[in-house]
Copies of this chain bind each other. A is one copy, B any other.
Amino acid sequence: MELSKTAYVILGMLGLGKSTGYDIKALVDVSTRFFWAASYGQIYPELKRLEALGFIAAVQEPEDGRRRKAYRLTDEGRRALRDWLNSSDELHTELRHEGVLKFFFADALELDEQLALVRRIRAHHEAVARQLREIQAVKEGEDADDRFPGLTLAWGIEYQERLAEWCAVTERQLREELARA
């Protein structure tokens, strides 16, 4: 792998019209962070690296007041982004889900505690779903020229709601068992 995944986040965000590290981070925080997080500690050094490699170039800004460093994709950068998007390399996927981990070990708990655990997992997914719906409400106003960010957001909401629904089903089963006992 030539570039890090974070590098592609940056190339992609520049492709979507963002230009500064700050802007990129702001958009990451309401979009990709739900499936690919990135912090300032990665973004700023990566911007320098990508510039050195010729994938992005600094844009000279009128330097009026506020000091900011705007970048744009170079042709090479745009090519690198498309090559990555089209690449058939194994897709890196990784999940760390403490709720599922606890569920896996839940035989160590009493029935009522198991039920409480699943409730907490559901509450978590419902909270994230709410958060995503808020983001969606904010974006609703803006008319975007891009289609896939919105589709991804819709997917995220459905994903979180399905997980919550699965919890609800499991809760129902545990409640029935608790009633029978």
Query: Taking beta carbons and an 8 Å cutoff, which residues of A are in contact with B?
Result: 5, 8-9, 12, 15-16, 31-32, 34-37, 78, 81-82, 84-86, 88, 90-109, 113-114, 116-117, 120-121, 124, 128, 146-149, 151-152, 155, 158-159, 162-163, 166, 170
Question: Cβ of A81: which chain B residues have Cβ within 8 Å of it?
Answer: 105, 108
28 A-B contacts (beta carbon < 8 Å): A5-B96, A8-B101, A9-B101, A12-B101, A12-B108, A32-B104, A35-B95, A35-B100, A36-B98, A36-B100, A36-B101, A37-B96, A78-B108, A85-B102, A85-B106, A85-B109, A86-B116, A86-B117, A92-B96, A93-B124, A94-B94, A94-B96, A103-B152, A104-B149, A107-B147, A107-B148, A107-B149, A162-B162
Main secondary structure of the interface of A (DSSP, over half): helix
Question: How distant is the Cα of A82 from the Cα of B116 in the complex, in angstroms?
Answer: 13
Q: With A81-B108, A95-B94, A108-B15 as known contacts, state yes or no: A148 contacts B35, CB within 8 Å.
A: no
Question: Cβ of A114: which chain B residues have Cβ within 8 Å of it?
Answer: 148
A5 to chain B, nearest CB (A): 6
Q: With A91-B121, A166-B158 as known contacts, state yes or no: A148 contacts B105, CB within 8 Å.
A: yes
Out of B35, B120, B170, name the residue touching A91 (CB < 8 Å).
B120
Question: Cβ of A90: which chain B residues have Cβ within 8 Å of it?
Answer: 124
